[in-house]
């Protein structure tokens, strides 16, 4: 094992660790720990795709949470309002597809379910159990959510083409703000702050390797999020290694110079936006189905600042560092949810709030002292540490050759 | 709304011709080899205001973007929108009730002055450091908290001026300290991408400050007593034998316009401080030096101004202005650690609308945003929905400005200073 193989081996060890963890760990707080790790995966997807967007591409977008919300709300609305029914309800808007009817439920907003019912519920009461309606498949909603995220990514990518640095940040911030305002205001459709309920990822449970998992079991969503993270990291790594990664880094360093050297900056900038926002939308859609409820608070600037801070503390110019950092930070933040007494002064310190103060200070100090974050330099040390020594050795030999000649 | 179809079809018509105009005009100007920097804006506005008729004239004549041509179309578009709204909803308060309109306008202007004042600090920071301070809302929050602590918790009954002064001094010191510790590496090329660094580090400051206050003060809303009572003159009566009495209520003008006391005092102080700022920037050596640095850093340095010191001064002064607004408004609103988020977002909208780095733009932009917001709140038929849409009005103004005219109303096209160098 050479020094530069260490990150690769460490990566395999980490993947194996997370792959066997749910079967090995047997603490009493098992569901809690699993939940934290799933949330960690979710943040890892967001952080690594954001680091691709801003660290590699230099596009400082504060709209990443907006794309998450688009993905989550698309699938939520899809699953909430569209059903398949074998018979016509004659009350709802419906279309016949073969022998089935596609039923669009009318939005009723937040009302007590006993007073006002939507048209499908009314029809169900009339049928009195004689007809079974099927909800739309969750995976179709998720695919739609991802597609919608990509579509909005394309739109935003087109709109922000001429904007740079601070203007881009403000534009994406304004976009998220509008999105949040619309979602929380259209009570009739999105139920506003009350949140929209979603079916679980595996509503009827799932059989895996001869074992049945209930819909509230943590293992299936754990592996779904885990594989999603691995797929995203794989795509991102492949992109970063390819010409695409080279071009967007050129874009970051100097857009005009890159364009002058023949890089199609428009195309790559838009592609970058589409790909990263699709990843954010995918993460949002899967996570919303895992949690089971989505509210506009998920798009808040606080969530965005968490993602930004995780990426910056871990290392914004390395997707793997960002992903690992997100999981570690999410885990640490959750573990710090406790209070303790300072023995001498006798003041109770509530770490639930103070942990975020420490986190913010850590963000500032990391930025000030180590601009590539904390984890990225470690990876660089192992994978590229030999480069400097080799260069020095090469120079020495060439100098020696020159002298002897 | 009685005839929503009228209003929405007009809106769609305007959007359609606006898009056509902005794309087509750029091409029309390019074909004649003219300056295209304002073509998109002109095309969008003329398209929205006059539809295809004005656009054809514009594409044939392709006039130079004069001041009148820049200002008239948006006003015409606004009038068109207002008329269609009046026809669509004739019973709305905004159409039928004149005193309601007057009070909405006065409220909008007062709100706009306060917003503009907040934005003033942000634009000052941007014009000199080239950094959009994401911690601006938290300076506002800290200012309010400091004033509250001095006037209510530590020294109850003390003159509120002491509280305001304490808020200003403490945030000035905080801003200067932060600038020295965290922003100095931006100036000498030690950091590859200073604009992004500035955004991130102020973002971190915002995060830290907000949770620091949440941890030390707690998350319960606090509110300061009103600083000042309006005098009210009335005839003495038996129950009320005093000729001159102070009242805590609102100021009523002609029985129609009602202005809340804290907002009015805050707006008056803001206007006074604005006049002082104008004097400071135009008449004193330090103010002139600040403006010189914002125009051209290197030339200012040659003339004997230390640009780094001006950076510190600008950041501290900008933070102090936000804190002053906070200290004045802590008597009007309940104060929470998260209270800075909304005015910060408004400030971003305003500085972009007015032109990043333009001081008069901040004030004009503030008043426009205040008016848009009060029109949006007062005129949208469903009041609950209107209130929850408030953040979107600012966002729409922001997006439209960035798309049509990124330099804003008063923005300099070729800005010097730090942002020209780093951008």
Interchain contact, B406 vs A350, CB within 8 Å: no
Interchain contact, A353 vs B215, CB within 8 Å: yes
Instruction: Determine contact, residues A289/A21, Cβ cutoff 8 Å.
Output: no
Better-predicted residue by pLDDT, B246 or B75: B75
For the CA atoms of chain B, what is the radius of gyration?
Answer: 24
Q: Is the pLDDT of residue B247 over 60?
A: no
Q: Give the integer Cα–Cα distance in Å for B3 and B9.
A: 11
Q: How many CA atoms lie within 13 A of A35 on its CB side?
A: 10
Backbone torsions φ then ψ of A401, nearest 5 degrees:
-60, -45
The hierarchical CATH code for the domain A3-79+137-389 is 1.10.3470
Q: Give the integer Cα–Cα distance in Å for B252 and B258.
A: 5
Q: Give the integer Cα–Cα distance in Å for B48 and B335.
A: 41
Instruction: Determine contact, residues B326/B139, Cβ cutoff 8 Å.
Output: yes
Q: How many CB atoms lie within 10 A of CB B103?
A: 18
- Torsion, Cα B255 B261 B263 B265, to 10 degrees, reads 120
Which pLDDT does position B416 carry in this prediction? Answer: 39
Better-predicted residue by pLDDT, A348 or A381: A381
pTM (two decimals) = 0.84
Which chain A residues are within 8 Å of B217, Cβ to Cβ?
A: none
* Domain range list for chain B: 4-90, 96-228+251-422
Q: Is the pLDDT of residue B420 over 50?
A: no
Q: How many CB atoms lie within 10 A of CB A167?
A: 21
Instruction: Sort A35 into a burial class: Cβ within 10 Å, 0-12 / 13-18 / 19+.
Output: middle
Instruction: Determine contact, residues A75/A286, Cβ cutoff 8 Å.
Output: no
Q: Is the pLDDT of residue A186 over 90?
A: no
CB burial string B8-21: b at 16+ within 10 A, e below: eebeeebeebbebb
Better-predicted residue by pLDDT, B247 or A172: A172
B204: tokens are 């971190």
Q: Give the integer Cα–Cα distance in Å for B46 and A376.
A: 52
CB burial string B234-265: b at 16+ within 10 A, e below: eeeeeeeeeeeeeeeeeeeeeeebebebbbbb
Of A136-140, A142-146, A175-179, B321-325, minimum mean pLDDT range: A136-140
Backbone torsions φ then ψ of B258, nearest 5 degrees:
-120, 125
Split at pLDDT 50, 70, 90, the class of B414 is very low
Instruction: Determine contact, residues B374/B104, Cβ cutoff 8 Å.
Output: yes
Q: What is the pLDDT of chain A when averaged over all its residues?
A: 81
Q: Give the integer Cα–Cα distance in Å for A100 and A96.
A: 6
Backbone torsions φ then ψ of B187, nearest 5 degrees:
-85, -25
Question: Does the CB of B19 have a partner CB in chain A at under 8 Å?
Answer: no
Q: Give the integer Cα–Cα distance in Å for B162 and A154.
A: 53
Q: Is the pLDDT of residue B173 over 90?
A: yes
| B231 sits in which H/E element | strand B230-233
Q: What is the pLDDT of chain B when averaged over all its residues?
A: 79
Residue B80 C-alpha, separation from nearest chain A C-alpha, in angstroms = 24
Mapping DSSP to helix (H, G, I), strand (E, B) and coil, where does residue B11 land?
helix
Give Dmax over CA atoms of chain B in angstroms. Answer: 82
pLDDT tens by residue, A286-301: 888 888 888 887 666 6
CB burial string B154-175: b at 16+ within 10 A, e below: eeeeeebeebbbbbbebbbebb
* Domain range list for chain A: 3-79+137-389, 87-132
pLDDT tens by residue, B292-337: 888 888 888 888 888 888 889 999 999 999 998 888 888 777 888 8
Question: Does the CB of B371 have a partner CB in chain A at under 8 Å?
Answer: no
B173: tokens are 């010191």
Instruction: Determine contact, residues B350/B363, Cβ cutoff 8 Å.
Output: no
Instruction: Determine contact, residues B406/A175, Cβ cutoff 8 Å.
Output: no
Q: Is the pLDDT of residue B393 over 80?
A: yes
Mapping DSSP to helix (H, G, I), strand (E, B) and coil, where does residue A343 land?
coil
Which pLDDT does position B415 carry in this prediction? Answer: 44
Give a three-class secondary structure readout of A37-75: HHHHHHHHHHHHHHHHHHHHCCCCCCCHHHHHHHHHHHH
Interchain contact, A58 vs B211, CB within 8 Å: no
Residue in the block written with tokens 């579509």: A151
A47: tokens are 């952080």
Interchain contact, A177 vs B395, CB within 8 Å: yes
Mean pLDDT of B138-161: 85
Q: Give the integer Cα–Cα distance in Å for B206 and B341.
A: 10
A56: tokens are 């590699």
B285: tokens are 């050596």
Mean pLDDT of B115-135: 86
Q: Name the percent of chain B lying above pLDDT 70.
A: 88
| A153 sits in which H/E element | helix A138-159
Q: Give the integer Cα–Cα distance in Å for A183 and A177.
A: 10
Mean pLDDT of A96-118: 69
Instruction: Sort B178 into a burial class: Cβ within 10 Å, 0-12 / 13-18 / 19+.
Output: buried
Q: How far is CA A256 from CA A259, A265, B35, B178, B339, in A?
A: 5, 9, 20, 33, 40
**DSSP H helices in B62-97:** 67-88, 93-96
A169 to chain B: closest CA residue: B199
∠ CA(A309), CA(A312), CA(A318), 5° rounding?
Answer: 135
Mean pLDDT of A138-159: 89
Which pLDDT does position B338 carry in this prediction? Answer: 81
Better-predicted residue by pLDDT, B228 or A20: A20
Q: Give the integer Cα–Cα distance in Å for B175 and B319.
A: 6
Q: Give the integer Cα–Cα distance in Å for B361 and B350.
A: 8
Question: Does the CB of B177 have a partner CB in chain A at under 8 Å?
Answer: no
Nearest residue, CB atoms, A181 vs list B191, B207, B392: B392
Which chain B residues are within 8 Å of A165, Cβ to Cβ?
A: 195-196, 199, 423
∠ CA(B309), CA(B164), CA(B342), 5° rounding?
Answer: 80
Instruction: Determine contact, residues B328/B118, Cβ cutoff 8 Å.
Output: no
Mapping DSSP to helix (H, G, I), strand (E, B) and coil, where does residue A94 land?
strand
Nearest residue, CB atoms, A177 vs list B345, B385, B402: B345
Instruction: Determine contact, residues B179/B315, Cβ cutoff 8 Å.
Output: yes
| A147 sits in which H/E element | helix A138-159
Q: How many CA atoms lie within 13 A of A288 on its CB side?
A: 38
Nearest residue, CB atoms, B215 vs list A178, A305, A357: A357
Mean pLDDT of A198-219: 74
Better-predicted residue by pLDDT, B232 or A176: A176
Q: How many CA atoms lie within 13 A of A56 on its CB side?
A: 28
Interchain contact, B341 vs A187, CB within 8 Å: no
Q: How many CB atoms lie within 10 A of CB A382?
A: 18
Q: How far is CA B243 from CA B16, B235, B237, B238, B252, in A?
A: 62, 6, 9, 11, 19
């Amino acid at each position: 094992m050479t020094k530069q193989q260490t990150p690769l081996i460490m990566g395999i060890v980490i993947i194996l660790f997370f792959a066997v963890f749910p079967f090995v760990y047997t603490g009493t707080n098992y569901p809690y720990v699993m939940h934290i790790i799933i949330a960690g995966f979710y943040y890892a997807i967001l952080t690594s795709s954001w680091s691709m967007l801003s660290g590699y591409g230099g596009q400082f977008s504060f709209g990443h949470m907006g794309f998450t919300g688009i993905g989550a709300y698309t699938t939520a609305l899809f699953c909430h309002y569209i059903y398949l029914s074998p018979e016509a309800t004659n009350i709802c808007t419906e279309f016949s597809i073969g022998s089935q009817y596609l039923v669009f439920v009318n939005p009723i907003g937040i009302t007590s379910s006993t007073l006002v019912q939507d048209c499908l519920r009314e029809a169900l009461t009339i049928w009195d159990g004689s007809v079974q309606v099927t909800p739309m498949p969750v995976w179709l909603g998720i695919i739609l959510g991802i597609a919608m995220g990509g579509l909005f990514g394309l739109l935003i990518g087109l709109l922000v083409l001429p904007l740079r640095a601070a203007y881009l940040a403000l534009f994406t911030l304004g976009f998220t703000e509008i999105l949040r305002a619309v979602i929380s205001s259209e009570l009739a459709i999105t139920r506003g702050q009350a949140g929209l309920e979603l079916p679980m990822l595996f509503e009827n449970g799932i059989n895996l390797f001869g074992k049945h998992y209930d819909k509230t079991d943590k293992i299936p969503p754990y592996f779904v999020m885990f594989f999603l993270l691995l797929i995203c990291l794989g795509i991102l790594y492949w992109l970063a290694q390819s010409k695409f990664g080279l071009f967007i880094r050129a874009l970051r360093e100097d857009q005009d110079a890159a364009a002058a050297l023949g890089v199609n900056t428009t195309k790559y900038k838009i592609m970058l936006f589409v790909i990263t926002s699709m990843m954010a939308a995918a993460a949002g859609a899967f996570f919303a189905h895992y949690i089971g409820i989505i509210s506009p608070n998920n798009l808040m600037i606080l969530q965005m600042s968490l993602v930004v801070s995780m990426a910056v503390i871990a290392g914004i110019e390395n997707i793997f560092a960002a992903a690992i950092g997100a999981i570690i930070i999410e885990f640490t933040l959750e573990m710090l949810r406790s209070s303790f007494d300072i023995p001498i002064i006798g003041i109770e310190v509530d770490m639930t709030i103070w942990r975020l103060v420490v986190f913010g200070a850590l963000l500032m100090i990391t930025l000030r002292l180590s601009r590539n974050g904390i984890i990225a330099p470690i990876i660089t040390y192992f994978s590229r540490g030999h480069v400097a020594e080799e260069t020095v050795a090469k120079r020495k030999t060439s100098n020696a050759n020159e002298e002897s000649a | 709304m009685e005839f929503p179809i009228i209003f929405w079809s007009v809106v769609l018509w305007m959007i359609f011709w606006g898009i056509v105009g902005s794309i087509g005009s750029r091409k029309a100007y390019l074909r004649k080899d003219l300056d295209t920097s304002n073509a998109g804006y002109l095309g969008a506005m003329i398209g929205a205001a006059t539809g295809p008729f004005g656009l054809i004239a514009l594409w044939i004549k392709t006039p130079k973007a004069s001041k009148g041509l820049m200002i008239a179309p948006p006003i015409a578009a606004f009038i068109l929108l207002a008329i269609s709204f009046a026809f669509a909803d004739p019973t709305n308060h905004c159409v039928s009730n004149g005193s309601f309109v007057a009070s909405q306008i006065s409220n909008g202007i007062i709100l706009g002055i306060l917003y503009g004042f907040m934005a003033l600090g942000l634009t000052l920071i941007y014009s000199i450091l080239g950094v959009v301070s994401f911690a601006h809302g938290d300076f506002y929050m800290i200012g309010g908290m400091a004033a509250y602590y001095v006037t209510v918790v530590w020294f109850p009954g003390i003159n509120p001026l002491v509280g305001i002064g304490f808020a200003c001094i403490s945030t000035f010191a905080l801003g200067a300290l932060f600038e020295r510790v965290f922003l100095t590496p931006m100036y000498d090329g030690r950091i590859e991408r200073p604009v992004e660094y500035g955004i991130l580090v102020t973002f971190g400051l915002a995060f830290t400050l907000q949770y620091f206050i949440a941890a030390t003060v707690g998350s319960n809303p606090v509110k300061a007593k009103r600083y000042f009572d309006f005098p009210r003159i009335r005839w003495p009566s038996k129950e009320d034998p005093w000729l001159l009495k102070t009242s805590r209520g609102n100021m009523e003008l002609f029985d129609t316009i009602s202005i809340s006391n804290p907002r009015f005092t805050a707006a008056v102080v803001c206007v006074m401080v604005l006049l002082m700022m104008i004097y400071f920037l135009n008449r004193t050596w330090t103010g002139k030096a600040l403006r010189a640095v914002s125009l051209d850093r290197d030339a200012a340095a040659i003339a004997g101004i230390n640009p780094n010191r001006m950076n510190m001064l600008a950041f501290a002064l900008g933070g102090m202005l936000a804190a002053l607004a906070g200290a004045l408004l802590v008597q009007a609103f309940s104060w929470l650690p998260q209270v800075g988020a909304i005015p910060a977002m408004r400030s971003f909208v305003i500085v972009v609308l007015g032109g990043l780095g333009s001081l008069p733009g901040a004030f004009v932009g503030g008043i426009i945003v205040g008016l848009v917001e009060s029109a949006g709140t007062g005129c949208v038929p469903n009041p609950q929905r209107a209130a929850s849409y408030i953040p979107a009005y600012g966002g729409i103004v922001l997006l439209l400005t960035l798309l049509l005219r990124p330099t804003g109303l008063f923005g300099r096209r070729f800005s010097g200073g730090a942002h020209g160098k780093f951008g």
